[in-house]
Amino acid sequence: MGKYLITGNYVGDGITGLMNEGGSRRRDAATAAVESVGGTLESLYFAFGDTDLFGVCDIPDVASAAALSLLIGSSGSVEVSLTPLLTVEDLDAAAAKSPSYSPPGS
């Protein structure tokens, strides 16, 4: 399972729906959506400012994460983004690798 940060902004009818249904119904819907791809929702927070919604979830694989993003985004009510989160050990493993790269113009 990979851990993902979900961020979202409600748009159009999504804002009206959120106001009418409240946060609990949206949390339940998010939980059901994540579970529908075999994942679990760890936490969900609403905010005001540049981003309306923050969540953390575990999703089994990249294809499931993409399916979830497409499902939510296709509603037209929420602009959603899923960001893979790295553990400290993931970063240690990445830092131990020795990739090579030639930048443009070098």
3-state secondary structure at position 36: helix
d(CA 41, CA 44): 8
pLDDT on residue 76: 92
d(CA 56, CA 59): 10
CATH of 2-87, one of 3.30.70.260, 3.10.50.40, 3.40.1160.10, 3.40.640.10: 3.30.70.260
d(CA 66, CA 63): 5
pLDDT on residue 16: 93
The domain ranges of the chain are 2-87
The pLDDT averaged over each successive group of 10 residues in the chain (106 residues) is: 95 92 93 97 96 97 96 93 95 95 90
